[in-house]
Amino acid sequence: MAMIMKISEFARNLTQDHEQVVPLSIFVAILCLCLIIGHLFEENRWVNESITAILIGFISGVIILWISKWKSSHILRFNEELFFVYLLPPIIFNAGFQVKKKRFFHNFLTIMMFGIVGAFISVAIVIAGSWQLFPKLGFTGLTARDYLAIGTIFSSTDTVCTLQILHQDETPLLYSLVFGEGVVNDATSVVLYNAIQKIDVRRLTSKAFLLIIGDFAYLFTASTALGVSAGLLTALILKRLFFTRHSSVREVALMVLMAYLSYTLAEVLELSGILTVFFCGIFMSHYAWHNVTDNSRISTRHVLLTCFKHVFAMLSFIAETFIFLYVGMDVVDIEKWRLNTLSIGNSLGIYGILILLILVGRAAFVFPLSALTNYMNGGRSSSITFKQQVVIWWAGIMRGAVSIALAFKQFTYSGVTSDPVHATMLNVTIVVVLITTMVFGFLTKPLVNYLLPSNGNNSSDNRSEPKSPKEEDMTPPLLSLEESTSTNLLRAKDSLSLLINRPVYTVHSYWRRFDDTYMRPIFGGANSSRSAC
- Say how many CA atoms lie within 13 Å of 445 toward its Cβ: 15
pLDDT tens track for 460-498:
455 444 444 444 444 444 444 445 555 555 555 455 444
List alpha helices for 331-385, DSSP H: 334-339, 344-377
The DSSP secondary structure of 188-223, one letter per residue, reads HHHHHHHHHTTS-TT---HHHHHHHHHHHHHHHHHH
- Of the chain, the percentage scoring pLDDT greater than 70 comes to 72
Say if CB 34 and CB 53 are below 8 A apart: yes
Q: Which domains does the chain have, with CATH numbers?
A: 1-76 (no CATH), 81-451 (1.20.1530)
Entry pTM: 0.77
DSSP 73: S
- Distance in angstroms (rounded) separating the CA atoms of residues 195 and 190: 9
What SS3 state is found at 174?
Answer: helix
- Distance in angstroms (rounded) separating the CA atoms of residues 366 and 388: 10
pLDDT tens track for 87-135:
788 878 877 887 777 778 788 888 989 999 999 999 999 999 999 999 9
pLDDT tens track for 357-388:
999 999 999 999 999 988 887 755 568 889 99
pLDDT tens track for 412-455:
876 677 788 898 898 899 889 888 888 887 888 788 888 887 65
Nearest CA among 97, 95, 100, 98 for reference residue 531: 100
